[in-house]
Structure 1
Amino acid sequence: MVEAIIIFFVFAFGACVGSFLNVVIYRVPMGQSIASPPSHCPVCGHPIRWYDNIPILSWLLLRARCRHCRTPISIQYPLIEAATGLMVVGLYAAYFLAKVRTLGLGPGDPVRPAALDLANALPMFVAHAGLLCALLASAAVDLRYYVVPLPVMWTAAALGAVAVLIQPHPFLPSVPATAAAVSAAAGLGLLAGLWAIHRGWLTPSFIDAPDREGPVTPPARKEQPSARRRRKGGKGRRRRGSVGVTAADGVNPRLEVLREVLFLAPAFVLAIGAWALVTKVPAVAAGWGGLFDTAAHPLLAPRLSGLGGVLFGFLIGGLWIWGTRILATLAFGREAMGMGDVHILAGVGAVTGWAVPSLAFFLAPVSGVLIVLYLFIRRRQRELPYGPWLAVGTVLAMLFYDSLVRYVGPGLKVLFG
């Protein structure tokens, strides 16, 4: 009985989040604020009262029409709300009832499933549920507009960091002090690259490619998604022809992607410097490593290790896609993948650690059956958004983590452990 009540409230919470995701999916691609104006009918502009905004139920009671102008309300709204509710309930059932996660992937990581319940793992559950919601919103936007709403994945990454600060949990693979130092230094390097762009010392890649445009057209115009050209990344902004920019577009993709290498250079330089300090200088190694000693710092050490895991996961997740993008662009002379995909897998890594995005990177192509089906339905579509398949790969990695780790965990430890 208690579990049934918990499941009901978890579903209700998920459905409410789904209602908010509908706002995100509709407004963010168009560059609109998600806070104001309040929810309103896009046709008559009448504000939607609270009793007309109850997830799923209001759509049914209103018979899928606006109370005031009788304009049909898309079935997308209750579907997203129901899908989000079921997704969050499914995550709860998988983690706390079926206990599909019983393994970690680092020193001291084995999980005691009998001791793991919602009461002592609430921050972790909220972060993981938030990640799934972010992936759902990103996939929905990417499928329709060929845009990845970056703030959505940034929010998910922030949830991951907050969760380990509140309550360190075993579902985030631990990293040694050296990896934490390297991750922190690389993070500073990324900030240095952003500062260089802000100051005009470094130019973003593909900035000179043609056909840059503003926010996408609202769905009310009934524009065919197949007519929209691909743009990965940016807050509701896209550029025709990207991904897939070639020399025919007036830019040299190989030279353009070298700008991204320059952007990443400070991160690699600082990471190497941090590694040298904590491994070659005994005083630094002792001081830094001492911060991760749980006996000496029972409150600080687990949280510092957790933040290290968040940073390391963020970097490894993003590097899988960004490295592939750079190498493929240099090899084929055509812009490969999208920067939005980098942010998706980086956000996954920030919440789940380095192992899940590493697994998801290889699992995403396995969803090729879905891609073939999508191509069959949309035969004229020459380019496909990759974000949804990364989302599918992430869900598979989260649910089948134990089985996958038993097979590939040792190899991943060799690479990153």
Structure 2
Amino acid sequence: MAFWIQLPLPVRLAVLSLVGVIAGGFVNWAIYAWATFRVPVSPWSRVPAGMAARHWFTRLPVVGWWARAAETPQQLAAARERLTRLGYEVPPEWTPRMPFWLRPMAIELALGFALPWLYWYETQAGLVLPAGVPQAAVAAAHPTWLHWMFVGHALLLVLMTIATFIDFDEQIIPDWVTIPGTLLALGMASVSLHTFLPIPLTANGVMRLEPCTFSAPWPVGKKWGSGYGLAVGLAMWSGWCFALSTRVLILRRGWKKAVVYFFAILRRDAMTKWLGLIWLMGLVVVVMVWNIGTTHWEGLFTALVGMSVGGGTIWAVRLVASLAMGEEAMGFGDVTLMAMIGGIVGWQATGAAFFIAPLTSIFIVLITFLATGQRMTPFGPYLCAGTVITVLYWPTVWQAAILPALLLGPVFLMIMVGSLVAMGVLLGIWRAIKMRLLAA
């Protein structure tokens, strides 16, 4: 870290720009490799019949896409033929609104710009630091902290980009994105507490900066470092692993048979043994970090709380909305996505991102419609956009939204539960109205 910080700033920015472009290439590969259903027109599809083999330079980031622009007509023909074989009716005039190579090239260019800009924003200008302090000077006084935080946010940006575009393409967020992302978040938090955003704490008229841990803005209680805290940490880890498993409940023959069927299906699923191995290894790691204690345990516990609150909030909304509407309201990928986000930014920022997410919908829907003609947009991109806004405007979000809500204490929790119940009632009323209109 010290060697990197001592490099001239222009050199660091240039290196990060190159890293961003390369990361964009990885993002493009992952968007199509991790998708459940490979789209017919993709930058990683085979060369259309009748065309010469691609040269090595067509695999280079950004510039390689210019060399592949001539493949567009052949790609469209191959896509039309494949969709026809799959039984879809494809009109002869069907074409996407933009060439297949434009989106991946734009992703690589965007990340090539975003990573150095985010680095300057967080580590040099210090704009994630509280308003009212000399941000650039304070940033220079906390280089290690802000660099750790940047690494976490850069990783999150790459993972959210993959999740966003796969969700755009097929309304699914694969576990290949969220499981490794959550594990990396827990690991980074265990190594350094400074992966979390800074908050101002004032005592005796003196302000100091502290990481936004699980208990912020209140002091950390001793019980969280005791056996009680360990038990809670193990429970949160176990809950996340269980949430990823296959959970099929068949109630046709009563609850007794339902339990038998539940464990039989769970046991036969090929994913169960891998999740079981991850669970056991995680239990050992959690206990080891708890034994080490100090900031390592505080960091891991903060990430576990963020993971649980982020995923649990979306899970609760999904459950209530599904029961009220009589159909699945949100995909489970949104749950695992928010758990990953919570593990990196903490539960306070995750809660703010959840409420900011719907405000981004108009902009995202408009851009999506203009680019692809698609009118419906999944919820995952909103969550990612809400997270980006929360991080970039963290001083304002903390001071104007999060802190006043947290100071309400138990009242805030009651408001949240009441809002969830109200949402269920309103959706239930809307379902009844819709069924009555359809019946008429």
Residue-by-residue CA offset, 1:298-331 (whole Å, 9 max, x unaligned) = x641111111111111111111111111112222
Structure 1 residues 153 and 412 mapped into 2: Cα distance closer, same or farther (>3 Å)? farther
Partner of 1:233: none
- 1:15 equivalent to 2:8? Answer no
How many Å separate the matches in 2 of 1:387 and 1:82? 22
CA contact (8 A) 2:306 2:347 kept: yes
- Describe the SS at the equivalent of 1:203: coil
Check 1:324–1:121 CA distance in 2 against 1; reply closer, same or farther (3 A cut).
same
| Distance in 2, Cα, partners of 1:310 & 1:134 | 17
Equivalent residue, structure 1, for 2:48: 43
The aligned residue for residue 118 of structure 2 is 91
Structure with max Cα Rg: 2
Partner of 1:212: none
2 CA distance for matches of 1:353 and 1:313? Answer: 4
Could you tell me which residue of structure 1 aligns to residue 33 of structure 2? 27
Deviation at 1:401, TM superposition (A): 1.1
**Change in CA separation of 1:132 and 1:366 when aligned onto 2, cut-off 3 Å:** same
Partner of 2:101: 74
- How far does residue 46 in structure 1 lie from its aligned partner after superposition? 8.4
- 2:149 equivalent among 124, 132, 136: 124
Aligned 1:97-136 pairs, distance under 5 A: 97-103=124-130, 113-117=139-143, 121-136=146-161
Aligned residues: 315
User: In terms of mean alpha carbon deviation, does 324-333 or 172-181 score higher?
Assistant: 172-181
Aligned to 1:225: none
**How far apart are 1:16 and its partner, in Å?**
0.2
Question: Among residues 46, 65, 78, which one is paired with 1:59 in the alignment?
Answer: 65
TM-score normalised to structure 2 length? 0.61
- Does structure 2 retain, via aligned residues, the 8 Å contact 1:146–1:385? yes
Counterpart residue number, 2:206: none
Gaps of 5+ in 2: 1-6, 39-43, 77-98, 132-136, 198-211, 215-219, 253-257, 267-285, 414-440
1:392 equivalent to 2:397? Answer no
Q: Which has the higher contact order (CA 8 A, sep 6+)?
A: 1
Alpha-carbon RMSD across the aligned residues, in angstroms, is 4.1
d(CA) in 2 for partners of 1:70, 1:396 = 36
User: What amino acid does structure 1 have at the position aligned with 2:213?
Assistant: S
Report the secondary structure of 2:185's partner residue.
helix
Residue pair 2:311, 2:335 contacting (<8 A) in 1 also: yes
- Note if contact 2:302-2:346 (Cα within 8 Å) is conserved in structure 1: yes
SS at match of 1:99: coil
List alignment gaps of at least 5 residues for structure 1. Answer: 33-38, 105-110, 209-254, 264-287
Q: Cα 1:340–1:125, aligned 2, differ >3 Å: closer, same or farther?
A: same
Q: Output the amino acid matched with 2:234.
A: A
- 1:180–1:305 contact (8 Å) kept in structure 2: no
- AA paired with 1:18? G
1:370 is aligned to 363
- Percent sequence identity is 27
- Considering fraction of residues, name the structure with more helix: 2
Counterpart residue type for residue 90 of structure 1: W
* CA shift in 2, pair 1:137/1:169, >3 Å: same
After superposition, give the CA deviation of every residue in 1:127-170 in whole Å (9 maximum; x if it has no partner): 21111111111111111221212211222222222222333316
Aligned AA (2:336): H
Query: 1:47 offset after TM fit, Å?
Result: 7.8
2:248 to 203, 206, 209: 203
Paired with 1:378 and 1:148, the residues of 2 have a C-alpha distance of 21
Distance in 2 (CA, whole Å) between partners of 1:76 and 1:403 is 32
Instruction: Give the secondary-structure state (helix, strand or coil) at the position aligned to 1:29.
Output: coil
Residue 43 of structure 1 aligns to which amino acid in structure 2?
A: P
User: How far apart, in 1, do the equivalents of 2:229 and 2:13 lie?
Assistant: 38
Say which SS state the counterpart of residue 248 (structure 2) adopts: coil
Of residues 325, 350, 354 in structure 2, which corresponds to 1:357?
350
Provide, for residues 3-57 of structure 1, a one-character-per-residue CA deviation record: whole Å limited to 9, x for no partner: 121111101101101001111111211468xxxxxx7744369886654322113
Q: Which amino acid aligns with 2:248?
A: T
Matched residue, 1:334: 327
SS of aligned partner of 2:336: helix
Please report how far the alpha carbon of residue 171 of structure 1 lies from its aligned counterpart in structure 2 after TM superposition: 1.9
